[in-house]
Each structure stands twice: as C-alpha cells, then as structure tokens.
C-alpha cells in the first residue's frame, strides 16, 4: 500500500477507514485521560490532529514523550472530528516514536519565532509553517516557470556555471581556481593562469545570457534557469551572492515581443501559484502581508502599464515630493524612484523602456535617436525592478563600435560578434531573479528567507 501523506489523508472524509500516518509533532495537549497531538509532514500547511485516549496501550508512558519535533508513525482510524477547527482526525490505536526530540533543548517551540532566529537554525526552519509554505510556493513557482516556457515551445538549456569569459560585466565575479593560494605560480610578476585547472582564468557565471543568445540564434526560443553568482559586497534584503535566475532569449523578436512575453510570463506563474498553493497563500496573506493575494490577483487580471524612461523621468520631475536623489534625464532610476512609480503613480506593475544608452549594457540595441537603447525593466510594488531585459544589438558594426567606445576588448567577444556576422537576427530576452519573484509572491521581506540556504557577503552557513 502506498504511504499516504497528510495532504492525502486530509482529503478523505471521515469514513472510519484505518490508516497509518507519518510526520513530526507540531504541538500536543493532554489531560489525565486523553491527549491531542498535531502532526505535520510538510505535504500541506495543515496538521493532522491525532486523538489519543487512555485506551491506547501505554498512554501514560507515551503521551509525555510526544513533544514538539518528535517523529511518529501513528496507526488509527480516521473519523470526523467533533472539534471545530478540523474536519477529520486520526483516532490512534498505535503510536510509534521514530525519533524523539527532547523538549528541554529542541529549539523550535510551539510559538512564533523571529525570522532572524530561524535563520540561525536553517537546518530546522523548514519544519516551521512559514518555511514550509515558502518551500511549497517556491516549488510551485519553479514548476510554473518550466510549464510556461514549455507550453510556449521554449527549449530549456543549461548554460555553463564555470565561465572563461571575463566579459559578462554584470557584476563582481567569484574566481574558480585550483592554484595553491599560499604559493601562486607567477610569470613576469603576474599570476600564471596557464598552470590553472582550465589553463586560463575562470569564474562562476554572473549571467547565462550571452551563452543563451548562442542557442536562441540557432533554435529560436530558449530559456535558462540556473544558479548565478555575484561577489558584490551587497548587504540588503534583496541581494544574495548565490541566487537563481531565469533568462529567456527569443530569436526574431523585438522589444515589444519581449515585453509581451515578460508580462504573460509573470501573470502565468503568479496565477499558477495562487491556484495550486491556495492554503499557503492564505497563510502569507494573513500572517506575512495582508492584502498580498488581492494584489497578486489584480496583477494577473491587469494590463501592465508600458511607458518610456523619458516619460517616467518627466513624471518624477513633476512629482509632488522630494527624492533623496534628484531626478533628471540620464540618471539611473533609484529604488525610491522605481517604488514611487510602481506604488504611487501606477499602483501596479509598469514596464519602462528605451533607457539612456550610457546607463545600460553594451549589447542592447541602439535606437535611431543615438541617445537611447531598447532596454526594458519591469517594476513591481515593494521590490522595484524584478525583470530587466532588452532587444539585443544585432548589427555587427554598431555592436563593434559600442564595444570599442566602452573600451572593451573586441577579441573577448569574438564568438558573440560572430552571431551577428553570420545570419544575424533581431532577438530579445530578459532576466528574472527567482528569489525576488518568490519574495514578491509571498510578501517575505528578506531574500534570505526565500532560499533554502542563503549565501551572502560574510555568510555561508549550512
């Protein structure tokens, strides 16, 4: 017989069927002649209430041992529950303790803990309601990402984690080396990377985009979904040194198609999660951020506002309030500006496009005005920028000129340039930080609480 999860069991009506449940004690209450144990196995937010009365053999001995955290196998009959808070309960006939959890020092109590405290016990925090819900929502979002792209005919490709190109330019990189750090081989005073594992200097990837373009320019529509590493000394609730990023890349697609995909994509994965994680989402709505579900539903049913960077600047200049960073055309938008636009002006997601070329990456397609590039950012309330993307420069000469202008070395980009030399096509793509998406959906304030094992500056425990 297949082992039934608590999710399965709670679906059953109380038809007096005999079954066996497995899980960990969340809380127990007892009196002289009976006790209640609530157990959870992570399959759903809800606990299964187990009723233990004195008929159960060794009731007196076992009841005090059923402390929070104890793992159990309970055999019994599933019956309708007389109590008001659950439909069914398991009337135990046999309880086996699989692993005890001494109450004197088990860190998780049947009370709310601060997220900061839970971060210190990351090996136990998955056993809490909050992290169970985060984990299930993260899983649903992850599956929805694949499902959206698969339904749209995108191919999932794996771009390298170790990269030999130092031309990604999206942030500080972690170096990968097997050279002995206490005695680095040198030649002419410089590190001799020819003796390193790959025979050259290598790092962990900061983006799969450039590699993704290779496959888009052969197979049409592709996406990546993999780990990304940035060695920035960022210390915020929105940054990690190791995070997961989704990067679709589409051939024969301009910036408008790019925006269409980004908008449809966000709506799809939000909608999927609302539908498949209703109980978890209720939990976030109630305990983490009231109104979050309404806001998400509104987004699913809305049309994202689209406007240009130039227009956004003009709105900000007219704003009836002062910003810490003064607004003028040409500046990069600050968090405060993005939040003002999305939270106060448009009250929902907004897609800005056509940014000044000087504040954007070299590979973005240059507009005819010679001032702007076809970049687009999707801004959402609370988070700010959640998606950044662009139509890529597909004109070989313009791209070369831009590389030169920025003082980059053409030879570093030889293969990237050849995509434009041979059969170049208009193409576009964007990047979505997966953890920021999980934050946005759950309302969790700190990014370190939406990834199982956060890696950040000066922090890599567990």
Partner RNA sequence: UCCCCUGUAGCUCAGCCGGUAGAGCGGGUGGCUGUUAACCACUAGGUCGGCAGUUCGAGUCUGUCCGGGGGAGCCA
- If one asks whether residue 239 binds RNA (CB under 7 A), the answer comes out as yes
Select the span of 158-166, 345-353, 417-425, 444-452 touching RNA (CB under 7 A): 444-452
By C-beta, is 115 or 425 nearer to RNA? Answer: 115
- If one asks whether residue 447 binds RNA (CB under 7 A), the answer comes out as yes
Within 123-199, residue ranges assigned H as helices are 129-151
- If one asks whether residue 8 binds RNA (CB under 7 A), the answer comes out as no
CA dihedral 172, 170, 310, 379 (to 10 degrees): -90
Report the nearest approach of RNA to the CB of residue 37 (Å): 9
Tokens describing residue 51: 């009723």
Which listed residue (139, 237, 311, 317) binds RNA by CB under 7 A?
A: 237
Contact 288/442 with Cβ under 8 angstroms? yes
Q: What are phi and psi of 300, to 5 degrees?
A: -60, -35
Tokens describing residue 319: 């704003």
Subset of 185-214 contacting RNA (CB under 7 A): 207
Report the nearest approach of RNA to the CB of residue 461 (Å): 8
Which listed residue (66, 72, 91, 130) binds RNA by CB under 7 A?
A: 91
Which listed residue (433, 440, 441, 442) binds RNA by CB under 7 A?
A: 433
Which listed residue (200, 236, 344, 398) binds RNA by CB under 7 A?
A: 236
Q: Which residues pair with 95 in a beta bridge?
A: 74
Which listed residue (74, 387, 403, 450) binds RNA by CB under 7 A?
A: 387
Subset of 267-326 contacting RNA (CB under 7 A): 325
Report the nearest approach of RNA to the CB of residue 258 (Å): 14
Which listed residue (73, 75, 113, 306) binds RNA by CB under 7 A?
A: 113
Question: What DSSP string runs through 238-296?
Answer: T--SEEEEEEEEEET--HHHHHHHHHHHHHHHHHHHHHH-HHHHHHIIIII-TTHHHHH
Which listed residue (296, 316, 435, 438) binds RNA by CB under 7 A?
A: 435
Distance CA 175, CA 183 (A): 16
Report the nearest approach of RNA to the CB of residue 342 (Å): 12
Structure-token match 């309601």, residue found: 129
Strands 88-99 and 48-53: parallel
Select the span of 127-135, 228-236, 256-264, 390-398 touching RNA (CB under 7 A): 228-236
- Our measurement of the distance from residue 448's CA atom to the centroid of its chain's CA atoms, rounded to an integer in Å, reads 10
Q: Which residues of 76-91 are buried (b: 16+ CB within 10 A; e: fewer)?
A: bbbeebeeeeeebbbb
CA dihedral 405, 408, 410, 416 (to 10 degrees): -100
- If one asks whether residue 335 binds RNA (CB under 7 A), the answer comes out as yes
Subset of 67-86 contacting RNA (CB under 7 A): 67-68, 81-86
Report the nearest approach of RNA to the CB of residue 375 (Å): 10
Distance CA 86, CA 47 (A): 9
By C-beta, is 206 or 296 nearer to RNA? Answer: 206
- Our measurement of the distance from residue 28's CA atom to the centroid of its chain's CA atoms, rounded to an integer in Å, reads 34
Which listed residue (17, 109, 139, 178) binds RNA by CB under 7 A?
A: 109
Planar angle of CA 149, 152, 155, nearest 5 degrees: 55
Select the span of 111-119, 146-154, 181-189, 404-412 touching RNA (CB under 7 A): 111-119
Q: What are phi and psi of 33, to 5 degrees?
A: -115, 0
Q: What are phi and psi of 377, to 5 degrees?
A: -125, 135
Report the nearest approach of RNA to the CB of residue 318 (Å): 20
Subset of 116-155 contacting RNA (CB under 7 A): 116-117, 119
Subset of 31-60 contacting RNA (CB under 7 A): 31-34, 36, 38, 49, 51, 53
Mark 344-383 with x for binding to RNA (rule: CB under 7 A) and - for no binding: ----------------------------------------
Helix axes 414-421, 396-405, angle to 10 degrees: 150
Which listed residue (125, 292, 357, 436) binds RNA by CB under 7 A?
A: 436
Q: What are phi and psi of 22, to 5 degrees?
A: -125, 145
- If one asks whether residue 9 binds RNA (CB under 7 A), the answer comes out as no
Mark 392-431 with x for binding to RNA (rule: CB under 7 A) and - for no binding: ---------------------------------------x
- N-term to C-term CA, the chain: 36
Which listed residue (24, 243, 272, 363) binds RNA by CB under 7 A?
A: 243
Which listed residue (5, 7, 10, 27) binds RNA by CB under 7 A?
A: 27
Distance CA 320, CA 338 (A): 15
Helix (H, G, I), strand (E, B) or coil at 59: helix
């Amino acid at each position: 017989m297949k082992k039934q999860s608590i999710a399965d069991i709670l679906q059953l009506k109380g038809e007096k069927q005999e079954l066996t449940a497995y899980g960990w004690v969340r809380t127990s209450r007892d009196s002289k002649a009976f006790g209640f144990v609530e157990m959870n196995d992570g399959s759903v937010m809800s606990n299964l209430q187990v009723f233990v009365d004195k008929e159960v053999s060794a009731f007196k001995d076992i009841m005090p041992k059923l402390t929070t955290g104890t793992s159990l196998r309970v055999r019994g009959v599933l019956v309708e529950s007389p109590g008001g808070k659950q439909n069914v309960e398991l009337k135990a006939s046999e309880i086996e303790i699989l692993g005890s959890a001494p109450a004197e020092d088990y860190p998780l109590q049947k009370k709310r803990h601060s997220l900061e405290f839970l971060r210190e016990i990351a090996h136990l925090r998955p056993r809490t309601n909050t992290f169970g819900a985060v984990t299930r929502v993260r899983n649903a979002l992850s599956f929805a990402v694949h499902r959206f792209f698969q339904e749209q005919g995108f191919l999932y490709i794996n771009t390298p984690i170790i990269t030999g190109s130092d031309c990604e330019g999206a942030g500080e990189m972690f170096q990968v080396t097997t050279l002995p750090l206490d005695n680095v081989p040198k030649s002419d005073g410089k590190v001799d990377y020819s003796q390193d594992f790959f025979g050259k200097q290598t790092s962990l990837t900061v983006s799969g985009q450039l590699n993704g373009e290779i496959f888009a320019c052969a197979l049409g529509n592709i996406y990546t979904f993999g780990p990304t590493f940035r060695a920035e000394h960022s210390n915020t609730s929105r940054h990690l040194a190791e995070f997961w990023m989704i990067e679709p890349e589409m051939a024969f697609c301009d910036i408008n198609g790019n925006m269409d995909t980004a908008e449809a994509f966000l709506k799809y994965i939000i909608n999927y999660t609302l539908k498949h994680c209703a109980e978890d989402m209720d939990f976030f709505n109630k305990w983490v951020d009231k109104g979050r579900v309404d806001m998400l539903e509104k987004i699913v049913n809305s049309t994202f506002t689209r406007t240009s960077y130039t227009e956004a600047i003009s709105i900000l200049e007219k704003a009836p309030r002062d910003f810490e960073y003064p607004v003028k055309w040409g500046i990069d938008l600050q968090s405060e500006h993005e939040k003002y636009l999305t939270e106060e002006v448009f009250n929902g997601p907004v897609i800005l496009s056509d940014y000044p070329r000087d504040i954007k990456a070299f590979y973005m397609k240059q507009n005819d005005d010679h001032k702007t590039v076809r970049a687009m950012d999707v801004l959402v309330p609370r988070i700010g920028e959640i998606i950044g993307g662009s139509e890529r420069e597909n004109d070989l000469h313009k791209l070369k000129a831009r590389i030169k202008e920025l003082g980059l070395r053409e030879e570093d980009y030889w293969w990237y340039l050849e995509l434009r030399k041979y059969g170049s096509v208009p193409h576009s793509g964007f990047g979505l930080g997966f953890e920021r998406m999980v934050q946005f959906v759950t309302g969790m304030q700190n990014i370190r609480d939406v990834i199982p094992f956060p890696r950040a500056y000066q922090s890599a425990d567990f």
